[in-house]
Amino acid sequence: MARFVAISWRDLAISFGPILLISAAAIYLAVRLIQPAPPNTLTMSAGTKGSSFWNNAQQYKKILARNGITLNVLESQGSLDNLQKLEDPNAKVDVGFVQGGMSAAAAIVPGIAPAASDKHDDLVSLGSVAYVPLAVFYRGPVLTRLSELKGKRLAISTEGSGTRALALAILKANGIEPGGNTELLPLAGDAAAEALSNGSIDAAFLTGDSAQPPTMGKLYRTPGIRFFDFTQADAYARRFPYLTVLNLPMGAFDLAKNLPEHRIRLIAPTAELIAREGLHPALSDLLIEAAKEVHGRANLMQSANEFPAPLAHEFRISDDAERYYKSGKGFLYRTLPFWIASLADRVIVLLVPIIVVLIPGFRLVPGLYRWRVRSRIYKIYGALIAIEREAMTDPDTAQREALIDRLDDIEAKVNQMKMPLAYADQFYVLREHIGFVRQRLTLAQSVALDAQADSVQHTT
């Protein structure tokens, strides 16, 4: 007699097994693709102590600390030094300020390692954070082209600085290169301004901290010193794609005295926030947020909220930064504290395969289970139908006995089946049908035997 059980665990396991394997594979892939937790420490290469880059980095440090991120700020010689540190894996620098044009300018700056002038496929930009206007002050008659400075004494800032790299690049375009009869001096900032004021040099190239409005205004008011007007500014911007044309408006230094007396055209690269390719997306968002707070105010050279901006020059904008500039922070990071949002973000990645695969799979299991149990019954019905069809072909006595033997085997198998109680009714219906086929075979056999007996009687 068949055994009845509450659940057929074998059928349930076979029904649920493939879904479980698919879910496990999906979860495994999700774990492989999931972003690790963001590190709680970053290292930034900034600039010399007291410089605007250094001071900005200190502000970043305070802002990131609000979210539990420690920013280690490293002193450097300037943009080129920052770029070299970012390129050097041993330096372990994650992010740094780099002035536009440094990658191209590095190729012509003596003493720069080859890596600094290659294409930087492993570095990305989080956006430009400020203009870095180049202000050229000089002594003597009015000049309209930089090539007219040939043979003079020029202060072009210190080695490793962005000012020096930019000055060398544009001077080369004007036919002035190191080693010629033009004296290129490593003077920067106040030292360069002082040397120009006392006549020790003929011109000073100033950017960044050296080209702040108070310094420029002071030099502009000094007798005998002129502010170079880049009349070819548009041509410079075409020749050097990382340069932007800026206009210093009339009266910017002194409205009462109308200084300067006319608009002065300037050229300016932008300072970019450059990071390693593998920077965590959550930290990328935090850095751009910090940049908004630090660099978003209006000043003489920029409008409010003009920076940070996704202006791509030598470094491509990272995918995470591009996403941030288009749509802002993700929902979780907007609504939850940083570290909770980071955890929730990773948990969701694990929940996706469970929701997409496992939950629909659970809905399929009952149907697969029913099909597994019923398929065993349907297989018996297939054998019964085959016997019944053969019985309808008017078999002889030996063939009919063979069919009855096959039916006995089927019934024996049915009696050994283990069936869930929920399918007991179908089991008993199957047994009734086996009995029905047996009855037809037995009746046909009796009729055949009677006919055979009558035939023998008539013969005798």
What secondary structure does DSSP assign to 421-441, as a single string?
Answer: GGGHHHHHHHHHHHHHHHHHH
Q: Are residues 389 and 443 in the same domain?
A: yes
Residue 116: predicted pLDDT: 44
Q: Which amino acid, one-letter code, is at 183?
A: E
Residue 344 lies in a domain: no
Q: Estimate the crossing angle of helix 397-416 against helix 424-459, to 10 degrees.
A: 160
Q: Are residues 137 and 264 in the same domain?
A: yes
Last residue of a domain, one of 229, 246, 268: 268
Residue 44: predicted pLDDT: 97
CATH code for position 308:
3.40.190.10
Q: What's the pLDDT tens digit per position in 38-92?
A: 888 999 999 889 888 999 999 999 999 998 999 999 999 888 889 999 999 898 9
Residue 364 lies in a domain: no
Residue 143: predicted pLDDT: 95
Q: Are residues 260 and 278 in the same domain?
A: no
Q: Which residue has the tokens 């992010």?
A: 95
Residue 114: predicted pLDDT: 43
Residue 309: predicted pLDDT: 94
What secondary structure does DSSP assign to 373-413, as a single string?
Answer: HHHHHHHHHHHHHHHHHHHTT---HHHHHHHHHHHHHHHHH
Residue 153: predicted pLDDT: 96
What is the rounded distance in angstroms from the CA atom of residue 382 to the CA atom of residue 442?
Answer: 20
What is the rounded distance in angstroms from the CA atom of residue 92 to the CA atom of residue 155?
Answer: 33
Asked if 437 and 407 count as a contact pair (C-beta separation under 8 A), the reply is yes
Residue 250: predicted pLDDT: 93
Q: Are residues 286 and 318 in the same domain?
A: yes
Extract the residue ranges of the chain whose pLDDT is less than 70.
Answer: 1-17, 27-28, 30-36, 104-119, 331-333, 338-339, 341-346, 349-350, 353, 358, 361, 444-445, 447-460
Q: Are residues 159 and 249 in the same domain?
A: yes
Q: What's the pLDDT tens digit per position in 115-148?
A: 444 557 789 999 999 999 999 999 999 999 999 9
Residue 187 lies in a domain: yes
SS3 content of the chain, % helix, strand, coil (to 5): 55, 15, 30
Q: Are residues 252 and 195 in the same domain?
A: yes
Total domains present in the chain: 3
Q: Which domain holds residue 430?
A: 3-16+371-459
Q: Are residues 45 and 153 in the same domain?
A: no
Nearest Cα neighbor of 96 from 132, 60, 50, 49 is 60
